[in-house]
Amino acid sequence: MIGRAAAVAVLLALVVAPFVPMGGMRQYVLHVVIQIFIWSFIGGAWSLMGRFGLVSLGHGAFLGVGAYTTTLLWNFYGLTPWLGTLVAMAAAVVLALIVAYPCSRFGIIGHYFALVTLAVGEVVRLLIIAERDWTGGSLGLTLKTAGASGSLLAAQSADKRVFYYAALIVWLIGLWVWVRLDRSMARAAMEAIGEDEVAAASVGVHVARFKLAITALSAALTAFGGVVYAQYITYVNPETLAGIGVSLRIVFAVVLGGMYSWLGPTVGTALTITLQEYLRVKFGLRLIGMAETIYGLLLVVFIIFLPAGIYGSVRALLARRRAPAPATA
């Protein structure tokens, strides 16, 4: 009951936040919060796979495919991103299946799976750079603007508040998908697969089908996140949207927050982005690299001591305190 009331209160606060007077800070605060929403959504999409032991280090590939598909379709063919998104998600799913099917067929799991996906992420990044005639290569690509005030058809807007609400909705959708999956039969099946594939198969779990389905879902959502990010920033770049760098960043934020709990990715993303922004504003150019240095250390410490992440661990602690007498079954 208290939990539900708190959730409603937080949601209300988030809805009215853009109208709270913050003076000159408003644009900046909104910008940071929008980024947190989008990257939390992407992190959540990653954790759909990650929590079941399908650790992908190549989610940048799906992000890049998503962002570049809509951007190129809009820039060269004038196709509205609303339709482009569907193409982008379909493309990401196809790519995911091309990689995931042989992985599942030949039993590539664990850290070998991670290495294969890492290579896939790099391939997408390098292909984007290689096709520089239309992708702009390493220089990136700016979305064709649809006029100064933006347009609904182009999914562009000059007003950050529009994107704030869009990102909020996207984030909520991500949480909804996460919780839906968490309460479904698929979760039990996937957990069994994550523990031991052979054992899961022996009790009648269709291993390949579940793995491919969860990978496709995760890829589609990640591509969608890439589209939203590209529409917001209106600039795409292979380094920020594909390859090892961004892939590790996604994984990092989720592991920090906790990949086994619905709010974990959000907590982790909010923390990393806030820390990065704080260090950037406070120290400017004097401490380049400091934020990542701290992340790196935290990541090592967390994997060793708190594999459930910040949110997961805090929740477990609260649950233990709330139930002082251990239930005897």
Partner 1 sequence: MIDPVFLLEAAINGVLLGGVLALLALGLNLIFGVLDVVWIAYVDLVMVCMYLVYFLVMGYGWPVWLGGLAGIGLGVLLGLAVHLLIITPILSSPPVNQLLATGGLLFFIQSFATFLWTTDHRSIRINLPVVEVGGLFLSFARLIAFALSIVAMLGLWVFLRRTFIGTAIRAVAQDRGAMALMGADPQRIYLVTSGVGGAMAGLAAALLSIQYSVHPYFGAAFGPITFMVCVLGGLGNMLGAFIASFVMSEIISLGGVLWSTEMGYVIAFALFIVMMFIRPGGILARRER
- Site residues (CB under 8 A) for partner 1? 53, 55, 57, 99, 102-103, 105-106, 108, 110-112, 114-116, 118-120, 122-123, 126-127, 129-130, 244-245, 248, 251-252, 255, 287-293, 295-305, 307
Q: Is 95 or 168 the residue whose CB approaches partner 1 more closely?
A: 95
Q: Is 115 or 199 the residue whose CB approaches partner 1 more closely?
A: 115
Q: Is 119 or 172 the residue whose CB approaches partner 1 more closely?
A: 119
* Token digits of residue 195: 């523990």
CA 198 to chain centroid, in Å, comes to: 30
Q: Is 175 or 290 the residue whose CB approaches partner 1 more closely?
A: 290
Q: Please state the closest distance from residue 13 (CB atom) to partner 1, in A.
A: 33
Q: Please state the closest distance from residue 176 (CB atom) to partner 1, in A.
A: 27
How far apart, in Å, are the Cα atoms of 182 and each of 17, 188, 206, 247?
Answer: 29, 9, 18, 24
How far apart, in Å, are the Cα atoms of 239 and each of 125, 194, 281?
Answer: 7, 31, 23
Q: Please state the closest distance from residue 303 (CB atom) to partner 1, in A.
A: 4
The CA R_g of the chain, rounded to the nearest whole Å, is 20
Q: Determine contact, residues 134/127, Cβ cutoff 8 Å.
A: no
Residue type, 75: N
Q: Please state the closest distance from residue 89 (CB atom) to partner 1, in A.
A: 23
Secondary structure of 95-151 in HEC code, one letter for each residue: HHHHHHHHHHHCCCCHHHHHHHHHHHHHHHHHHHHHCHHHHCHHHCEECCCCCCCEE
Q: Please state the closest distance from residue 82 (CB atom) to partner 1, in A.
A: 31
Q: Is 182 or 239 the residue whose CB approaches partner 1 more closely?
A: 239
